[in-house]
Amino acid sequence: MSSGRNKPAAIYQKNQGASRFEVLREIAHFEQELSTFEDSALSTQVNEKKKKGRKWWPSFLSFPIPHRIYEIESTAIRAFSPEKFAFFMEKQAHVKEDEEEEGQVEKVEEPTENAGRNRKRNKNKEEKSEMASPQPPIREENEEKTAETEEKDNEEWKMQECFVFCLKQLFFSRIWIFILQLIASFWAGNRFRTDAFYLAETIVSAHQSPMGAFMLRFLFAGLRRWDSQHFLFIADNHYILEQSLAFFPGFPEIITVIRTGITEVSENGEAADVIPTWLITGVLAVVLNFFFFIFSGIVLFLVTFMIGRSVKKSLLATSLFAFNPASIFFSAAYSESMYFCLTLTGFSIMVFSARACSRAARYGGALFGTIVFGLSLVVRSNGLLNIFFAAWYFAGAFLWEMAPPIGDLKEPGKLKKLDEFLGKHQKNRQDEQFRHGEAKTKKREIERSLTRPRKVFVLSDRRFSRCFYLFLGVLIASVSVFLFVFPFGLMSHSVVAEFCNPTPPRAKAVRDLKMATKMDDSVVTIVEARRGKVDWCKPPKTMAEFVYGLVFPPYYKVVQAKYWDVGLFGYWQFRKIPCFLMMLPAAILTIIAIKHTKEDVAKKGWTNIWVLFGRTDHLVPMAIHSSIVLFTAVFIINAEVFTRLIFSSSPFLYLFLADYLDGLTQGDTPGNRFWHYEQAVGILPFFVFKSVWKSGWAGKSLYIYLLGYFVFGTMAHAAWLPFT
């Protein structure tokens, strides 16, 4: 009897199918399987707000839970598609201003008009919730990379047009620099020249080459001021003066090598008799920096494209670089162009390798990027800070492995109850609303989530041996440090050996040069070093000095303190206040960018150091690096060099300012359509937008700073005024 009474109920449940509770439980189970750290970031933020007074560092340092993150590809799929990005809409096309969001909203047909209205309301709610929540920019596309999408990508590809725009901006900015320095140097002459180093100019002989002297002393005169004299003198005479040791040999050495090759290639070396070496050196310094500058701009576009995932931001970043406040130093005989070129190349290799799928590509690319970063240390002393970038991106490549594929929803057992629930009309009104609303949305989200590649944290995943990875990490870290330091150590020890142990003929040549140029007797040269009058040339007295000399050159700290007042609070003098005022705009801009980066990461919920290592679409390592540079400029080194230091050390400010300009140039504003860039007059800087100027004192101050330093900073430097 009991079984008979229960039989209709059992038949009813069987016909009814899966219940809403079972569907929700199945969805929750599958979402847990797909869950990543980014997905749980919002709930984590809510819990953190409830727990007031809780320390932040335990969650910041603890292993991520879940131990998976999304992995983004090197470039976005269909990154130039007008269907996905309003930026690429044609001139005759018209779109509403509220449709400027990147990504195409998926549209689903509904069976009835009312259901369509409900779907639209649900979609609006979802969009609002997504805008309110800190969603990570994982992949702009909601489609799988198939042969069809690759074909569309090839059809829409506009990289050549982007490079043409960048080249125009970069080339014409150099034309402006040449004109400005020519005007300033012709007007000022040497009337403002101080007791700064000037020996490279004294060897320029009008009798030996009148045309060469005219070229260097008139056409390129403004590009041979201040520290340029040191680099040019080193390229011609190598390290024969103690004060020259403050300038690393990367840039002058490449000039020397190319100049030697030019003279050797000529028949019987007769070119050296016709064209003096000082002329070849002076021209090569300008030409090389021109090519380094152009190459840096192109690589900056690629780095911004990979990190920022936006063509518009990449174009803006290149325009900002072309007309940056320290632009004169990228064309003068300084090492900034070569250094920035190597740094950006290291960045591009590191970011690209960190997103590679195979372990060999990640490790190999990270090692190669470390070598490139190490070469930057041969060019400039602040290249030592690039070891931080190498360590950061290497940690990301090492600690995160590609996760195995999760599978397809069409496999047996995948979302079986959800499919059954969606396939039947529900008699219960709430169940029917759930079927048309949340159930469909959840399935679509899961389908979209399946196409996203993931990484797993190797120290939390049981498939990986923690002891093995720790051993491998120590081994790889040792190799990386060696690869980074080796070029620098080789350079510093060769310089010490050359300066402290000169040959008798070379010492005699220096004595003759000293007499010919009427050097002061107080100038320390290799002659004094050969006589044992240079203390740092003597063998180390303590073990600490010996260990320090194995890694760092023993002369650098001594020379910087002796000739440039470098040291803790060494530049804090009343007469140096104008120098600190000169660096103030760049310092304020750097502080704002650092604050913005911190807020951006907190908004996304990426408050975990291991997750920050694994993701490459944020500016945290650059912000930390810039903080160190700012601290060093304020308390240790010459304050006035901070402007050129911060604009040539990393792409940090260019990425930040490009994002700022992008936010202010939406809608029909010039600069928010790709054809605006294609039709732009190349001879003018493109980042002058009317809406940015109208945005308030911040936009006006930014333009005054950028263009003011570009114009007047260039002319001040060329006129021997203290913009160094």
Using alpha carbons, select from 141, 138, 53 the residue that is nearest to residue 606.
138
Q: What is the pLDDT of residues 630-674, one digit of tens each?
A: 999 999 989 999 999 999 999 999 999 999 999 888 877 888 888
Distance CA 305, CA 427 (A): 51
Q: What is the pLDDT of residues 370-412, one digit of tens each?
A: 999 999 999 999 999 999 999 999 999 888 888 776 655 555 5
Q: What is the pLDDT of residues 211-227, one digit of tens each?
A: 888 888 889 999 999 99
Radius of gyration of the chain (CA): 31
Using alpha carbons, select from 401, 381, 331 the residue that is nearest to residue 495.
381
Domain boundaries, the chain: 1-34+405-452, 67-92+102-156
Distance CA 707, CA 704 (A): 6
Please, what is the average pLDDT of the chain? 81
Distance CA 403, CA 357 (A): 10
Using alpha carbons, select from 707, 568, 587, 575 the residue that is nearest to residue 646.
587
Q: Residue holding tokens 């660096």?
A: 583
pTM for this predicted structure = 0.85
Assigned token pair, 610: 């291991």
In this model, does residue 152 exceed pLDDT 80?
no
- Mean pLDDT, residues 96-107 taken together: 38
Lowest-pLDDT range, 237-246, 258-267, 432-441, 619-628? 432-441
Distance CA 428, CA 463 (A): 45
At 69 the three-state DSSP class reads strand
Assigned token pair, 136: 């990570």
Q: What is the pLDDT of residues 63-89, one digit of tens each?
A: 888 888 887 776 666 777 777 777 888
Tell me how many degrees the CA angle 560-561-564 measures, rounded to the nearest 5: 65
- DSSP secondary structure string, 435-453? IIIIIHHHHHHHHHHHTS-
End-to-end Cα, the chain, rounded Å:
100
Distance CA 569, CA 566 (A): 8
Residues 6+ apart with CB under 8 A from 282: 204, 212, 215, 216, 220, 224, 232, 333
CA atoms within 13 A on the CB side of 194: 10
Distance CA 165, CA 673 (A): 13
Model pLDDT, residue 147:
56
Q: Which is more confident, 715 or 411?
A: 715
Q: Residue holding tokens 């308030």?
A: 696
Distance CA 638, CA 634 (A): 8
**Residue 203 · residue 236 · CB < 8 Å:** yes
Q: Phi and psi dihedrals of 555, rounded to 5?
A: -90, -25
Lowest-pLDDT range, 105-119, 386-400, 521-535, 571-585? 105-119
Strand arrangement, sheet containing 68-70: 68-70, 454-457, 400-402
Q: What is the pLDDT of residues 439-497, one digit of tens each?
A: 677 777 777 777 778 888 888 877 777 788 888 888 988 999 999 999 998 888 888 88
Model pLDDT, residue 39:
74
Helix ranges, 17-68 (H): 20-34, 41-50, 57-61
